[in-house]
A and B are shown apart, each in its own frame.
Chain A
Amino acid sequence: MRKLIGLLAVLTLLVGACGSSGDLVVEDAWARTSASMQEAGAVYMTINGGDEADRLIDVSVSSDVAMVAELHETAMAEGGDGMMSMQPVTAIDIPADGAAMLEPGGFHVMLMKLAEPLTSGSTVELTLTFENAGTVEVSAEVRED
Chain B
Amino acid sequence: MRRLALRLVAGLFAVALALGACGGSSLDSLTGILRDPAPDVGGVALADASNADAPFTLKAAPDELLVVYFGYTACPDVCPTTLADLRSAVRRLEDDASRVDVAIITVDPDRDDGERLTSYIQSFFPGGHALRSDDADELQAAADAFGAAYEVVQTDEGVEVGHTAYLYGVDESGLIRVQWSFGVTPDDLEHDLAYLLREGI
Contacts and interface: CB of A to CB of B under 8 A. Distances in A.
Nearest to B80: A32
B75 interface: yes
Contacts of A111: 76
Contacts of A37: 73, 116-117, 119-120, 123
28 contacts: A32-B81, A32-B84, A35-B73, A35-B83, A35-B123, A35-B124, A37-B123, A38-B80, A39-B74, A41-B76, A42-B77, A72-B76, A72-B77, A81-B149, A81-B164, A84-B78, A84-B165, A85-B151, A85-B161, A86-B76, A86-B77, A86-B160, A88-B157, A104-B81, A105-B182, A105-B183, A144-B84, A145-B87
A3 B75 CA distance: 63
B76 A108 contact: yes
A36 interface: yes
A145 B87 CA distance: 10
A6 interface: no
Contacts of A138: none
Nearest to A113: B74
Contact of A104 (B78, B124, B164, B181): B78
Given A36-B119, A36-B122, A82 B166 contact: yes
Interface in A26-44: 32, 34-42
B77 A35 contact: no
Given A77-B162, A83-B151, 20 more contacts: A32-B81, A32-B84, A35-B124, A36-B123, A38-B76, A40-B74, A40-B75, A42-B76, A72-B77, A82-B149, A82-B166, A83-B162, A83-B164, A86-B78, A86-B160, A88-B157, A111-B76, A112-B76, A145-B87, A145-B88
A33 to B, nearest CB: 8
Contact of A84 (B73, B84, B124, B182): B182
